[in-house]
Amino acid sequence: MRGSPPRTIPPLTDLAVPPRFLEDVYQAASECNKCSLCQAVCPTYVTNPVEWETARGRVSLIRDAIEGRIELRDIADGPLSTCLTCDNCIAACAPRVPTGLIVSRARMELHEQEGHPWGQSFAFRSILPKAGALRFLHGLSRAAQVTGVHALLRRTGLSHWLGAGGALMEHVGPLPRQTAYRRARSLPLATAPVRGRLGFLVCCYQNLAAPQATAATMRVLLANGFEVVVPQLACSGLPAKSLGDREAMTDMAVANVDILREVKVDLLVGDVASCTAHYKTYDTVLAGDERHAADAQHVAHRTLLASELLADYGQRAILGPLRWRVAIDEPCSLPIDGPTRSASRRLLAEIPRLEIVPLGEAAMCCGGPGMYFHEQPDRSEAILQRKFEHVVASGADVLVTENVSCLVQLRNGAARYAPRVRVMHVFEVLDESIETAQRRNAVIPE
């Protein structure tokens, strides 16, 4: 696909035509002034510099489809499928054209016109919304890894037959035995005096792939005086949104709103930037659902990212010294403006002896969201490789992020391109600092 244009596009006409579909993003798509400033910040363009890989190119083609000059299916393979919906382009865009949203809506429209791939539809309806199905798959995958069945499938090349599931197992690597939900059962009490009661939005992906990060976040919140309640939730619906399945996205939001309605807490908090950001949009997702709109709004307006919450309220736990050189990779799903993007940095800056080193292109996507690594393997690898050129140049020995897709992707990148660099969730670093302080205090009481 590299460098090849989308399929034949009929010539443009000057006719002003009413939008055929996607009325909600048509105006935004029309605001692109073709300045091209988005090129340099788009991870797909910098690794494959052709026009349709830019926000400008994608938005223009989607607009052509809306106005009837081409069909969405003409741009499905390429402009629509390679976009990471990371929104890094917005940072360079004066009219703030929301390309990620426009591409997501175009994918939804395409699926509404042509139906969903069977496997994807099954996963969104029968696995991701069901905690039991996820637990079963986790047990099965782990058993395959522990008994060597998975290694055998890999050696014989049969793991390819498992499709996206097999690719995900490969990508995530060894699965920890205990999920985040299980780890949450044996956490300490909140440090007195209690500052508030939080409902924890466990991400279903991090629950299985990096549960130690979620457990670390909970320990840090408890050490800082917050009580933590852990409701059993379905998937937030973000993967369905990214891949354009509006119905599945809405159903998962409804299921979670029904659960969270009964959870009596002051605020809701998550430690996966993309998943938490999606909960913040529940008011929009369920705006047209009379039965759930008010509760969805309540969820959206009370949800915070854990770093955002702790940076706002201030750290109370004593932090011990860590002699680490840390680079911070910023998940794309953090808001472009405002204090949330710098929350991790502000928290880590309080750790004695820890040095935060600059990271080039820190806000550029690592190529890891969702199943991108599987659907666009060459593109994903090229983006990851570029990311690690910057990591190595930074001289960091620890690379910090706050998103599970990034955590898994960056772990793979470190293994290939920078084996001495450890990849950690920001709350794992804070947890280690608190533990260091506790150890020191046990040896030298205050």
Q: Closest distance between ligand SF4 and the C-beta of residue 333, in Å?
A: 11
Site map 58..97 versus ligand SF4, x via CB under 6 A: xx-----------------------xxxxxxx--xx-x-x
Residue 132 CA: distances (Å) to CA of 118, 135, 258: 21, 5, 18
Cβ-in-10-Å burial (0-12, 13-18, 19+) of 249 comes to buried
Q: Which is nearer to ligand SF4, 85 or 303 (CB)?
A: 85
36 binds ligand SF4 (CB under 6 A): yes
Q: What tokens appear for 254 in the block?
A: 């409804």
Minimal distance, residue 243 CB to ligand SF4, in Å: 15
* Least separation in angstroms between CB 29 and ligand SF4: 9
Q: Any contact of residue 40 with ligand SF4 (CB under 6 A)?
A: no
CB atoms near residue 390 (< 10 Å): 17
By C-alpha distance, which of 91, 406, 400, 73 is closest to 272? Answer: 406
Is 100 within 8 Å of 83 (Cβ atoms)? yes
277 interacts with ligand SF4 by CB under 6 A: no
According to the binding rule CB under 6 A, does residue 47 interact with ligand SF4? no
What strand order describes the sheet that includes 325-328? 355-357, 325-328, 398-401, 422-425
Which parts of 356-425 fold into alpha helices (H)? 372-375, 377-394, 404-417
Name the minimum Å distance from CB 52 to ligand SF4. Answer: 10
User: Is 38 among the residues that bind ligand SF4 (CB under 6 A)?
Assistant: yes
Do residues 344 and 310 make contact, with C-beta atoms less than 8 angstroms apart?
A: no
- As a whole number of angstroms, the distance between CA 277 and CA 300 comes to 9
* Residue from the set 1, 12, 17, 35 that interacts with ligand SF4 by CB under 6 A: 35
Task: Pick out residues in 97-136 that bind ligand SF4 (CB under 6 A).
Answer: 97, 99-100
Calpha distance 221→195 (Å, rounded) = 10
- Determine which residue in the list 25, 28, 29, 55 makes contact with ligand SF4, applying CB under 6 A: 55
Q: How far is the CB of 99 from ligand SF4 (least distance, A)?
A: 4
Any contact of residue 44 with ligand SF4 (CB under 6 A)? yes
Contact 253, 204 (CB under 8 A): no
- 403 binds ligand SF4 per the rule CB under 6 A: no
In the complex with ligand SF4, the residue whose CB is nearer, 30 or 191, is 30
Binding residues for ligand SF4, total number by CB under 6 A = 27
Stretch touching ligand SF4 by CB under 6 A, among 51-59, 174-182, 236-244, 281-289: 51-59
Q: Does 334 participate in binding ligand SF4 (rule CB under 6 A)?
A: no
Sheet holding 267-270, edge to edge: 226-229, 196-200, 267-270, 303-305
Q: How far apart are CA 446 and CA 436, in angstroms?
A: 14
Q: Residue 283 and residue 286: Cα distance in Å, rounded?
A: 6
- Name residue, tokens 């009379």: 290
- 22, 32, 66, 404: residue in contact with ligand SF4 (rule CB under 6 A): 32
Q: Rule CB under 6 A: is residue 382 a binding residue for ligand SF4?
A: no
Choice between 83 and 221, CB closer to ligand SF4: 83
For ligand SF4, the closer of residues 150 and 379 by Cβ is 379
Residues making contact with ligand SF4 (CB under 6 A): 32-38, 42-44, 55-56, 58-59, 83-89, 92-93, 95, 97, 99-100
